[in-house]
Structure 1
Amino acid sequence: MNKVALIASFLAGLSILSISFVYLNQKDLKAEVIITNPPFNTTFPQTFELKDQQFLLNGQPLYVAAGEIHYSRVPSQYWRTRVQTIKALGLNTLSVYIMWNHHEVAPGVFDFSSPDRNLRNFLQIALEEQMYVLIRPGPYVCAEWDFGGQPFWLLKENVELRSTDPKYIQAITPYINRVAQEIQDYQITRNGTVLMVQIENEFGYYGSDNTYPLKLKQIWDDTKMIQVPYYTADGGSQINTGHVPGAAFGLNPGTHENDYQYAHSIEFNMPVMSSETYPGWLTHWADNWAGRDISSTVSEFENLVWNQHSFSMYMVFGGSNFGLTAGANNDNSDTAFQPDITSYDYDAPINEQGAPTDKFYALREMFKSHFNWTIPNVPQIQNLTTVDQFTPQRFGSLRLLYNSLPKVTFQQAQSFEVLNQNQGIIVYTFQVPISNSSQNTDYTLSFDKIRDFAKVYVQVNSSTTYNGTINRMNQQNSFSFSYSGNATNATVTIFVEALGHVNFGHTSFDNKGIIGNIYFQNKNISNISHTLIPLQNIPDIIPSPSAVDSQNSETFFKGTFKIIGQIGDTYLNMSNYTKGYVWVNGFNLGRYWNIGPQQKLFCPATILKQNNEIVILDLLQNTAAPLQGELTLH
């Protein structure tokens, strides 16, 4: 090797050594990031301020390490254990959506006192467990929750949602006043634990009229009950639309440094945090299970810690969409309807049944290396149990139930909301003219819109033919049938099922049922009979087993099962059934559907006894099949 080559080689080696040294030095510096917070203290009134790009508790910087939990998605008996588990992950704050429609159960009727709706009890647990709280009251929350938390009856009033429309403002004002009443005594300024209240939610994705968030702030201010600061939450490019002057910035997901810079360019002194960083993701029916790998999740949260960005982990614990609470996604052209599954496991660090996962322990170890506060031991979770295989008995059909229920007739089909029904099923019945001919004739029935899933029966004379299904997920709004014979009229009966109001996307006009006109052979049909079957609770009248409908109809199954030994949480494996609902001891566990990916429904110990009753309504199956209780979702 000549001298020039030797020198070049030596210099190249120095360059490599220098780069390696700088890289290792930066890594070491990041590894040494230790975050210290002032102690949790409620013995005196405290101050919480937004100043100099920081959160200041009694004048000292506070690093917010939050985890999202929704008390509406977990039995109240488990609230304390879930909060303790979140604290054992290393977090110091709970981020909490309040679902408006979880509390305003009818127009002007609020329920904050039932055990699973008692917000004050939840906040008291947070206080006793020394966890701060971020309140996210909407009124729109998204959250894969029915209609983003808004009450369904707004859809019958022709209200412009999430706007300064006087009808919308009139609807949200009593709700905001009531939430303010519930949280006022738990603010950090009153020896409580609530640090901030969020104004709206991701408004930048939805609208462009910034006067609406400002109006919301005014309504909160007018309550004279809120003493803590406000914050907003938006995607990075939308933060200016949803921002309220004087409020902290929340970024969803808050993983891009340029978004923090953009926020400071809008209001320099305001602190900016990641209001939603995702350790997992949501899952729709017919999708694969969504999720995130452990390595990338830990890396993303460690980057937030390294950069000393306060954060909220959405979700740290997901829970379940019990009953009819699951929402749906859609696009703005109303062509991509995607209903959410019943499980809200979210691939979160704490799974649906409350157990810490491998992701939990990996995050915990990382947080322990950076957070200079006491991280408690992981609490013991609720006992799990299996249920031996059993087979319920076929017990009548929804068609027979429908025959016994009252009916109301309108010239045009009415939506669920107009008839004051949130979800469940409405049965539409009407007559159509057909040809009296020996030649086979094709007929087509179509709709302006039909939402979301329907079963169609055509009856000619005394013979009823099941003609199939209409599925909004497949963008269907018509079906055809053929007939030849001696008749001039046919009776069409359509069972229409709602699958959750859209919570993200095309939300403003997501009425359920048959919307608009019904056409038969391109001619408008009128004189439509309606029968309402809400399904939140078990129908009051279930036909006896001796009255089983011979058609391929919507079938009830009823049975009992025993738990041997200690009662615990279980998962009912519904894979031998097709599509429907399950009630255990009168509690609606939610929907199942064999298109997956979910095949098992979480059944908490809080609703179980030694001897239990189960009722199944399957919309597509009339043969009883065995099921059993298992230990895991997957």
Structure 2
Amino acid sequence: MRFNLSHLIPAELKERNMGLQTRRTHFTLEGHKFIIFGGSIHYFRVPRAYWKDRMLKLKACGFNTLTTYVPWNLHEPERGKFDFSGNLDLEAFIWMAAELGLWVILRPGPYICAEIDLGGLPSWLIQDPNLKLRTTSKGFVDAVDHYFDYLIPKVIPLQYHSGGPIIAVQVENEYGSYNKDKNYMPYIHKALLQRGIVEFLVTSDNEKDVTKGHIKEVFATINTDTLSKKVFSQLKKVQNKKPILIMEFWVGWFDTWGSKHFAKDVKDVEDTVLKLIKAEISFNMYMFHGGTNFGFMNGATHFKNYRSVVTSYDYDAVLTEAGDYTEKYFRLRKLFGSFLATALPPLPDLVPKAVYPAVRMSLFLPLWDVLKYLDEPVKSDTPINMENLPINHGNGQSYGFVLYETSICSGGKLHLHVQDLAQVFLNEKVIGVLSNGFQKLNIPRFQGCQLLRILVENQGRVNYSWKIQEQQKGLSKDIFINNITLKGFTIYALEMKTNFFKRLRSANWRPTPMNYSGPAFYLGTLRAGPSPKDTFLRLQKWMNGFVFINGHNLGRYCYTGPQKTLYLPGTWLHPKDNEIILFEKIMSGSYIQSTDKPCLQNSLSTRLLNS
């Protein structure tokens, strides 16, 4: 069923000016005054089976508009190979919003930031060092054009003027903070228009960067978490005497491994929203519901130091990572209800949670036993970075791990350049751990010749700032021992794709030893009973790795915190038995426990309302 508005509009009035537009102090939609109460939900961070639940909760809180990004890297994992199926079915997501009576603001990029790997840009773009991201560099705009040629025809029927719910489309994202090419934003603007985008167009920038990100004939919006006196000062320089739209009103923030869990004061959010409503300022809450960085989706930051974004994208949002209500939700619902002319819909029920029996990971395979189940390794005289490996039809490797092997016949001082984290082994014994940049390591003396192995993990490409240009992972330069260049590498790509795990089913799994040290895969069974429900996995004595259940990659866990549990959607569980595979990098634990409450900091969060 499509959300077709054409029957509401007389034939003589079916013109562009019936969509979203501006008056002197306010927006109008269908010719009537309209205030945007928006909330962000990313379809790619939420299991498809739960899309409707999250949207119904958005509407029941009092919001009228849904906002989402479109991640290019997930939709075009290889050049010309597009995926809009399953959890990436953008069209189904938007039509569902329409059927539930929500308007939509679409933010198609090509760059989106969103704390996702490389800001949503495909990793194959950085194979060529001469290609300049987010500029009119020929290689980049050619790739954008090809992507838009596929994406935008899907969007056209979803626009308001085609009977769909999309009332506004964003031109790129936060370009004012990047600002490398004055011709770039006009190029993207034109690219959207030429392909048939006819709805209200906007830019989005941090307030201090709005003058650099704004382009003519496009409405400027800002991103902020406050309503200080100066918050609109730069916006007024480029766009005075027009209504205001805060494209991202930050109600929380994301977490990085090794840092504290972020939480924003509920009263501050409530007070700011009250001021916005009274001033009739339109806004979009980022995030209404954050969801999860499943798989290898997470991005990273690099300001003073590199930090990987955690698996949970809870964001201290209005709904929790698992779609549960928070104190923010109840306060905002009460606030919206006091201003809206019509009664709010009833609250949808919570998705039920369960606690399952602990899982003993009784079988294991050391990484070294698994190499024969990987795709054919690459032979190279010199190391090759992840993105430039000659695999995946010339598109390189996007995510996961790379293992480099070569033979050495003497110890000494090892020099190498690594991104992001490398474990160095002599044969199967770890001799050091190295992280980002040029590093040195003493190789102990040994007899004869030994196998030098370097396992490098891509912990997430930076998603913000000019550093996105420098995100080639693995080993990208020559390696030296005692200033002698090492040659003759065998390179294994550990992409952790579905077909790899299918091959592992035929492997000769062994009983798990006590406290095995080193990278290995572990196998266990989660018994969910006849009616699987959502749960959270707690890996207290495991150190660092990934969890795969029934082929779904739940994401990274790490002993450094703050995140202590992984969200496991019940919709991904089978009745009765479920296969769990861990890839643990450092040392084995024993059990995996489940709990019906998340833990995103050092103690169970009391702010989550799960009953």
Note the alpha carbon deviations across 1:203-258, whole angstroms, 9 max, x for none. Answer: 111124331111100111111x2110100100112112111212222111163443
Larger deviation, residues 207-216 vs 414-423: 207-216
Q: Unaligned 5+ residue runs, structure 1? A: 1-39, 436-442
Answering whether residue 489 of structure 2 is matched by residue 528 of structure 1, we say yes
- Would you say 1:480 and 2:442 are equivalent positions? yes
Determine the structure 2 residue equivalent to 1:34.
none
Task: Single out whichever of 134-143 and 249-258 deviates more from structure 2.
Answer: 249-258
Q: Does 1:237 align with 2:203?
A: no
Q: Is the partner of 1:258 in helix, strand or coil?
A: coil
TM-score, length-scaled by structure 1: 0.86
- Conserved 8 A contact 2:415-2:438: no
> What residue in structure 1 maps to residue 158 of structure 2?
186
Which residue, 325, 349, 353 being the options, matches 2:318? 349
Give 1:214's aligned residue. 186
Match of 1:599 in 2: 564
Shift of 1:270: 4.4
Residues 371 and 523 of structure 1: CA distance in aligned 2, closer, same or farther (over 3 Å): farther
* 1:454 counterpart residue number: 422
Secondary structure at 2:485's aligned position in 1? strand
Q: C-alpha offsets along residues 35-84 of structure 1, whole Å, 9 cap, x if unaligned?
A: xxxxx997335422234253221232210010011000011111111001
Stretches of structure 2 lacking an aligned partner (at least 5 in a row): 390-395, 600-611
Matched, 1:502 2:462: yes
Map 1:267-306; keep pairs closer than 5 Å: 267-306=239-278
Equivalences for residues 47-86 of structure 1 within 5 A: 47-86=19-58
Contact map agreement 2:21 2:29 (CA 8 A) in 1? yes
Q: Does the alignment pair 1:174 with 2:146?
A: yes
- Work out the CA distance in 1 between the residues paired with 2:293 and 2:279: 35
Query: Is contact 1:53-1:268 (8 Å) kept?
Result: no
**Taking structure 2 as the reference length, what is the TM-score of the superposition?**
0.90
Which residue in 1 is equivalent to 2:348? 379
Query: Does residue 493 of the first structure (1) align with residue 453 of the second (2)?
Result: yes
Counterpart CA distance in 1 for 2:7 and 2:210 is: 33
Question: Matches of 2:481 and 2:255 in 1, distance apart?
Answer: 37
Q: How does 1:190-589 map to 2 (within 5 A)?
A: 190-223=162-195, 225-253=196-224, 255-331=227-303, 336-402=305-371, 405=374, 406-419=376-389, 420-434=396-410, 443-447=412-416, 449-459=417-427, 464-472=428-436, 477-483=439-445, 486-487=447-448, 489-505=449-465, 506-537=467-498, 538-542=500-504, 543-546=507-510, 552-589=517-554
Moved more, 516-525 or 208-217: 516-525
- Deviations along 1:7-39, one digit per CA (max 9) or x if unpaired, are xxxxxxxxxxxxxxxxxxxxxxxxxxxxxxxxx
| 1:284-304 superposed Cα distances (whole Å, 9 cap, x missing partner) | 011111111211121122222
CA apart distance, 1:394 = 2.6
2:136 aligned with 1:155: no
Change (3 A) 1:106 1:248: same
Residues 160 and 53 (structure 1 numbering): CA distance in 2 closer, same or farther, change over 3 Å?
A: farther
Q: 3-state DSSP class of the match of 1:541? A: helix
Contact 1:234 1:252 in 2 (8 A): yes
Q: Which amino acid aligns with 1:155?
A: I
CA distance, structure 1, for counterparts of residue 373 and residue 250 of structure 2 = 48
Is the contact made by 1:231 and 1:248 (CA closer than 8 Å) also made in structure 2? yes
Once the two structures are overlaid, the 10-residue window that deviates more, 181-190 or 507-516, is 181-190
Q: Specify which of 112, 122, 126 is matched with residue 141 of structure 1.
A: 112
Distance 1:42 1:86, change over 3 A: farther
Partner secondary structure for residue 284 of structure 1: coil
Instruction: State the distance in 2 between where 1:446 and 1:429 align.
Output: 15
Larger Rg: 1
CA contact (8 A) 2:524 2:581 kept: yes
1:596 maps to amino acid: G
Cα offset, 1:174, TM superposition: 2.1
Note if contact 1:571-1:629 (Cα within 8 Å) is conserved in structure 2.
yes
| Cα displacement string for residues 316-343 of structure 1 (whole angstroms, at most 9, x for unaligned residues) | 1000011111111112xxx511101111
How far, CA to CA, are the matches of 1:535 and 1:633 in structure 2? 26
For 2:524, the aligned partner's letter is G
Aligned residue for 2:319, secondary structure, equals coil
- Residue equivalent to 1:3: none
Q: Secondary structure at the match of 2:479?
A: strand
